Structure 1
Amino acid sequence: MLETIEYTAGNGESIGFEGPLYGETLTGLRGRAWDYSLASRGLTGVTRKTRETNVTVRIHDSPATLDLLCRLADADMAAGTPGTLIADGEWETRAWIPKSEPQTITPTMVETQLTVVLLDGVWRRETTTHHDPRTDAGSGLDYPHDYPHDYGGMSILDTVANTSGMPQPIRLTIFGPCVNPYVIIGPNRYEVDATIPASSRLEIDGTADARTVIMISDTGLRTNLFAKAMRGTGRGSGTYIFEPLPPGTSTISWAGGFEFDLTAIEERSEPPWT
């Protein structure tokens, strides 16, 4: 059962709903809603959009807590930067709290209804795995003569599992040095035609809100390499840089001796009940 939810503002400050600000079951945050249109024999435009919900909270003998919530929520609204709701320390969704309507006020207790705007329509949990080059000794070619360089096979690392039943957005972080790096996950090849120097990293972000390909140097300089990324003919083409991770188990392979992080982003319409 979901135990904790906290709101983290854009400035990094957080406030929970387990006391002295009590949200009880926070029923409004537990629901889910898909947007769609009815067709003659089915649905069209199926998506998960931003949605608005209400939750009731109360405080006892702690008006400063309500002042803190007001300050954090107002600052995010004024800045146009959403805060983040975090469930059980794992699942996150971006949110604003644009409204508070007091329902009951006594000398020792205040009950108020908060309007919460869930910006993403989904809750997300990230899982990151780090991968080092590990070449299968039996996968290379065995030549009868010596050559000034080795002929190695693809590095078959492992497998990655997606048990959600739906495609998952992924983020790849490739660490230099490497030239024209690529990683093959399942049927798709993620490739960027660029040189990544030592101490720099390449970040390929396929989340719905980002879709960026950025090289970041050791000094923090950011270079947009979107135009250098292989995009094929789009999703399902086999060379799409932002291809999501398909359901089931996929193999991972690459060549070039570089290390990389693979972050799979699980999405749910509501926080898990278990």
Structure 2
Amino acid sequence: MVVYYENSNGEKLNLMRSPYHVVEADWYDADWEETTSGYEKTIAVDIFGKQSEFVENMERLYRIIAVDSENGVCGRLYVNGAYLRCMAMKSKKSGWKGYVYSEAEITLLAPELEWIQETKKSFYPQEEKTSIEGLDFEFDFEFDFAENKRGVEQWNVDHITSSDFKMIIFGPCINPRILINGYPYEVTATLEKQEYMVIDSIEQTVTKYMSNGTAANLFNERGFDHSVFERIPPGLLTVNWPGDFGFDMVLLLKRREAKW
């Protein structure tokens, strides 16, 4: 099991490697009751070491978790690859044995009970048209029985609910349009080479990033007949696009308890 806390500065505290070891936690407890006050999660951690090391270990524990609490921002608690946005609210010490051992009970507050597993798939430009499987023959006819298409792929998303996403579209392309199970995600814009665009369903933003490092807001250039922020369904997805550009899809698979 891989468990660690990463604060907003990118500092990580491995909670399953000496001198820290989680002995009890409630991250496998789920709760579907909605609340505006947040959700508490509690973990009990053993901390130990020789006298001089023990002091350093306790100080490191404090420094890493205190950064977010003092600044009122969320870090991330990772369990088996999924993360929960949270910050420490309490840190209670017990089982004190001089300067060689202590147990810390850390209470974390999460604004949403959402364990997020990010999964990504890249869709590359398809310059060559491909024939539908099963219609080609070993010898040639004067005409082709196969329907030629490009920009067609499938993706099986193993999840139970629709997911928020980030769609990163790479230039060059004009007015990129992507169909997912027939639903269109479209932006009326031009991307030059080395430019890209990000559609973020959580932040509800459409942003173009140019080669000189500047960014442009394309919110008003998004498709209006169909929302470009429509969440992606689970199961087998059929993805269609012109094939003359590439893009990445990052899905945020959310669940109420950490993944087993």
TM-score scaled to structure 1, two decimals? 0.80
Q: Where has structure 1 moved over 6 Å in runs of 4 or more?
A: none
Pick aligned residue for 1:94 from 82, 85, 90: 85
Q: SS in structure 2 opposite 1:23? A: strand
Q: Does 1:173 find its partner at 2:190?
A: no
Say if 1:156 and 1:111 are closer, same or farther in 2 by CA, change over 3 A.
same
Q: SS in structure 2 opposite 1:78? A: helix
- CA shift at 1:251, angstroms? 0.8
Pick aligned residue for 2:57 from 56, 65, 68: 65
Instruction: Provide the residue aligned with 2:32 in structure 1.
Output: 34
CA contact (8 A) 1:162 1:168 kept: no
> Structure 1, residues 97-156: CA drift from partner, whole Å, max 9, x if none?
1211122212121122111112331111111111123253569xxxxxxxxxxxxx7634
Q: Does 1:131 find its partner at 2:128?
A: no
Matches within 5 A, 1:1-274: 3-18=1-16, 19-24=18-23, 26-36=24-34, 50-61=38-49, 62-88=54-80, 90-107=81-98, 108-134=100-126, 135-136=128-129, 155-207=150-202, 210-232=203-225, 239-255=226-242, 257-273=244-260
Q: SS in structure 2 opposite 1:29? A: coil
How many residue pairs match? The answer is 239
- CA shift at 1:11, angstroms? 1.1
> Structure 1, residues 54-78: CA drift from partner, whole Å, max 9, x if none?
2222212323222112112221122
Instruction: Provide the residue aligned with 2:136 in structure 1.
Output: none
Question: Percent identity at matched positions?
Answer: 25
Q: SS in structure 2 opposite 1:124? A: strand
> Structure 1, residues 76-109: CA drift from partner, whole Å, max 9, x if none?
1222221111122x21121101211122212121
CA contact (8 A) 1:168 1:266 kept: yes
> Structure 1: which amino acid aligns with 2:218?
L
> Structure 2: which amino acid aligns with 1:251?
T
- CA distance in 2: counterparts of 1:120 and 1:81, whole angstroms: 13
> Structure 2: which amino acid aligns with 1:9?
N
- CA distance in 2: counterparts of 1:154 and 1:212, whole angstroms: 31
Instruction: Provide the residue aligned with 1:40 in structure 2.
Output: none
- CA shift at 1:30, angstroms? 2.1
- CA shift at 1:270, angstroms? 1.1
TM-score scaled to structure 2, two decimals? 0.84
